[in-house]
Structure 1
Amino acid sequence: MAHDHHESGEAAWKHDGIRVIKGDRLDDNTPQTPGMYRQAAIDAARVGAQKIWAGTVAIEPDAKTGVHHHGALESVIYVVRGRARLRWGERLEFVAEAEPGDFIFVPPFCPHQEINAEPGEVLHCVLMRSDNEAVVVNIDDVDPVERPEEVYWVDPIHKAPD
């Protein structure tokens, strides 16, 4: 059985084993977006993770992104509190909602828009990605089946539609 070892011959997990990241010790030194507050729990900088990123996001009432995808990354969103609405497809023709306890899977290259569907409640989610890189590809030329609501999340990551 092959194991990773330090040069000293000791198993890597003896020095870099299981880590517990306390909920009040998350790192908000992440790309932030108006209407959205992201915090990293697991990433390369904090624990040496090479293949995943995990953290939390709090999304203000009625906030939403522009249309985008995350390249080759897979994403999983777990809804803790509130109600999430996702639109996806070449024309945002598909819609699904998720409530507390629900998981959302966003496949690679899937054009989508994330929306807090509750007008008076902050949406709290746990987010996991299949890589440490924050890949966001904005899609400006979508002709949606239904006009998206006003877009609040506009920053270098989520650009305003024209």
Structure 2
Amino acid sequence: MRKVVTLHSDNTDAAVQGVPQYVGITGNSAGSTGIAMNLTAFGPGGKAKVHYHRDFETAIYGISGRIGLYHGAQLEDYCLIESGTFCFIPPGVPHIAFNLSDSEPATAISSRNDAAEQENVALVPELEGLRDKDIEEIKRR
């Protein structure tokens, strides 16, 4: 019989997508086999690298601050994640998340149906910088 695992993670790890995350439930930390859940912490002005998740879904829940998310084949779509916002990202959809504040942090819970979730993050360097001007414009509003 498997055992219940509880964690109080003080440890942050640099995620493949370039933002700090507090390591929570993963195959390595808790022995999970089909789920991962972490706290993603965007410092003031923080921004992830453009990426997608191979063959697995992502659910995000906004805890604090305001996080912008461009998504789509050319990052053509935009949504806002604030405290209380749920967001679903299908497998294979390129996206970039960023903190809308240059002075306050923003946090979100990220869950994926893959216990080895960092092994299945794929960076998309050819889309880097594509929405930088748009991000700056949104921040000025």
TM-score (norm. length: structure 2): 0.80
CA-based RMSD: 2.7
Residues 18 and 124 from structure 1, CA distance in 2 versus in 1: closer, same or farther, beyond 3 angstroms? same
Aligned 1:6-155 pairs, distance under 5 A:
12=1, 16-21=2-7, 25-26=8-9, 28=11, 30-32=13-15, 36-133=19-116, 134=118, 135-142=120-127, 147-149=131-133
Give 1:17 shift.
3.6
**Separation of aligned partners in 2, 1:101 and 1:119:** 21
Counterpart CA distance in 1 for 2:79 and 2:40 is: 19
TM-score (normalizing by structure 1): 0.71
Deviation at 1:89, TM superposition (A): 1.3
Partners of 2:97 and 2:52 in 1: how far apart?
Answer: 11
Q: Segments of 4+ in structure 1 off by > 2 A?
A: 16-21, 27-37, 140-144
> Over residues 79-117 of structure 1, what are the superposed CA-to-partner deviations in whole Å (9 max), with x where a residue is unaligned?
111001000112211111011011111110001111111
Structure 1 residue runs of 5 or longer lacking an equivalent are: 1-11, 150-162
Q: Which moved more, 1:79-88 or 1:59-68?
A: 59-68
Counterpart of 1:5 in structure 2 is none
> Which has the greater radius of gyration?
1
Give, in angstroms, the shift of residue 27 of structure 1.
5.7
Identity of aligned residues (%): 26
Q: Which runs of 5+ in 2 are unaligned?
A: 134-141
SS at match of 2:24: strand
Aligned residues between the structures: 133
- Is the strand fraction higher in 1 or 2? 2
C-alpha contact (below 8 Å) 1:59/1:122 kept by paired residues = yes
Q: Distance in 1 between matches of 2:22 and 2:5?
A: 17
Task: Identify, as 1 or 2, the structure richer in helix.
Answer: 2
Q: 1:35 to 1:53 in 2, by over 3 A?
A: closer
